[in-house]
Structure 1
């Protein structure tokens, strides 16, 4: 998106240097379970202004009175967790780099989540990248005037608050097996907190404990990385163990599981903005659009692109048994804007927002990017292709 920087980067690129970069990225913690793209995305000021304008518009809607009432239905009945707090600690906004009718580039919101992302891994990625490549002057992956130190200070403050690291855990389901496990190892290193599987929790009264180097240790805060929908796919013994999470526990959630559902695909039909594609709940559509090829069908409660129907037919809609749990979203025209040695790549940018507990609204802090040459952006849809996968964006200051 910044032709001068793109041309210079591509001209200087060598596979040998990239392989050394990958080696360092994979050796410190654990080998990455996803492909890393050969390039960052360079974002000029004009494009980033559009991104942040859309994000702030969504935040205005979240702050409106009655938002919780409007989104209560988003939380499945069997996933009601007590002690929800006033707002999420984290929000992530996914935007596709798209082309409008006039041929100009613009961001279009794809999804959003009131849930953490790869907050610690992106610090590590930026660190290793910076040791091999020069960051262009006046560009940074950190947002809102933050640098590495300011970003980590904010992250620690939100997750730990005033507690000792041993009393704060990163909660996941078999964390070492997850594709994003690199982020958990980075979090342990940078924040000093342990990753804990839900099956390892010990409940005494209304308090939770875990074994920290063999010592039973009180849990005061949970940095929640567990996607509750995943529990449905587990064996009965795991689901039974996880039931303790739905009890009235003396523990603080960061961020509370309810926000994963409230700020999600469920929220999209509530928003009207030029950088947010038209989205409607499937059960509220009286007449199916004749140009269905211009829409995508998405389940409300899924993640990582699972269940999404790209080429929608009337039969697909007729086959939906629970239309209240689906949305029909206008397709966006991804622009193959990232020049690569063979075919150009499309890209999505995820903007990280942090929301300190006493702050009136959240603020942008960092990002990640994903490059694709397939129909969908996720790394699982780009096998055997180069210059695709996970990366980050460098924003013009």
Structure 2
């Protein structure tokens, strides 16, 4: 979206550079990257970048109002309701598409989520993309005037909350099989936190423990990456119950995965938010179904999204 940068990048691009970029990220992650890597970054002009940041902050402010926080409690399925939820989420991000409106490029919200994203991987990836970009020293990819070290520090403070890294774990189901595993290995490089499956945890009273190099180690804080949809689909037997009181803190309380999500879209009033309704709000199908998109409330990675909706 910055023509001069786009022309320069395209002119310098080659398949070999792309393959080198893939190899570099795989080497830094210590594993293969199991998803497609975009061949190019997006070059956002400052006014569009600032519009996205401004919109995201305004949307989060709306969701933080007491009435909306109260309504968000209804989003949590009882079978996944974890005790001791924080008053506000620790992590949140908004996903924007861009649209052309009266000759201007403007952001339009796709969805938002109070759940961790690929915070480690995106730092490594963007650095690698900058190496492929001519004159990249004048480009910025972090907000709030942060550099790479500042970003590592700020995110690390949120995840660790002052605790020794060996007592903080990144938790997901069978981590090496997850498509997000490169982010897990890079998180360990940046912040020293191991990735642990909930199936490998040991419960002693209200305490959770894991084996670190064979040694029993207490878990004091969980950087939660478990998606309960997947947990339910796999029908796993865990050594602990998320719904029972536990002597652990959460770096991202699991309930926020539901509370700020696609479930939130109908309550938002903002120029960047397309009209959204819960399906249960309709007593009959809209006449212009071709203009609607049907999304499951809590699915992930785009699963279950229906673009070409037709009447039953």
TM class, shorter-chain normalised? over 0.9
Q: Say whether residues 1:180 and 2:180 are aligned partners.
A: yes
The 2-side partners of 1:177 and 1:187 are apart by 16
- Quick one: distance in 2 between partners of 1:308 and 1:10? 32
- SS of residue matched to 2:146: coil
Q: Partner of 2:99: helix, strand, or coil?
A: strand
Name the SS of the counterpart of 1:111 in structure 2.
strand
Pairing 1:44–2:45 present: yes
Q: Deviation at 1:52?
A: 1.8
Unaligned runs of 5+ in 1: 316-397
User: In 2, are the aligned partners of 1:203 and 1:244 still within 8 Å (CA)?
Assistant: no
Query: What CA distance in whole angstroms lies between the structure 2 residues aligned with 1:55 and 1:130?
Result: 25
TM-superposed CA distance for 1:46, in Å, is: 1.6
1:1-397 alignment, distance < 5 Å: 1-28=1-28, 29-100=30-101, 102-134=102-134, 136-235=136-235, 238=236, 240-241=237-238, 243-315=240-312
Q: Supply the distance in 1 between the matched residues of 2:292 and 2:54 (Cα, whole angstroms).
A: 24
* Cα gap change, 1:12 to 1:131, in 2 (>3 Å): closer
Q: Note if contact 1:96-1:107 (Cα within 8 Å) is conserved in structure 2.
A: yes
State the TM-score, normalized to the length of structure 1: 0.76
Taking the aligned partners of 1:57 and 1:288, their CA distance within structure 2 comes to 31
Q: Name structure 2 gaps, 5 residues minimum.
A: none
How far is the alpha carbon of 1:242 from its aligned partner? 6.0
Residue 50 of structure 1, CA deviation = 1.9
In 1, distance between residues paired with 2:93 and 2:135?
24
> CA offsets per residue over residues 246-302 of structure 1, 9 Å max, x none?
210010011000100011000000001111111011111245322111111111121
Q: Which whole-Å CA distance do the structure 1 matches of 2:85 and 2:290 have between them?
A: 40
> Which has more strand, going by share of residues?
1
How far, CA to CA, are the matches of 1:13 and 1:49 in structure 2? 28
Equivalent pair of 1:170/1:223 in contact (CA under 8 Å) = yes
Change (3 A) 1:135 1:197: farther
Cα deviation 1:222-267 (Å, max 9, x = unaligned): 00011111111114xx2x3165222100100110001000110000
1:134 CA displacement: 4.0
Distance 1:66 1:290 in 2: 32
CA drift at 1:170: 0.3
SS of 1:42's partner is: coil
Q: Structure 1, residues 108-149: CA drift from partner, whole Å, max 9, x if none?
A: 100111000000011111333344444535421111111101
3-state DSSP class of the match of 1:85? coil
RMSD: 1.5
Q: Write the distance in 2 (CA, Å) between the matches of 1:247 and 1:58.
A: 32
C-alpha displacement of 1:99: 2.2
Q: What do residues 73-126 of structure 1 show as CA deviations (whole Å, max 9, x unaligned)?
A: 1101100101111211110111112223x2432111001110000000111113
**1:372 maps to which residue?**
none
In structure 2, C-alpha distance between the alignment counterparts of 1:69 and 1:41, rounded to whole Å: 37
Whole-angstrom distance in 2 between the partners of 1:305 and 1:231: 17
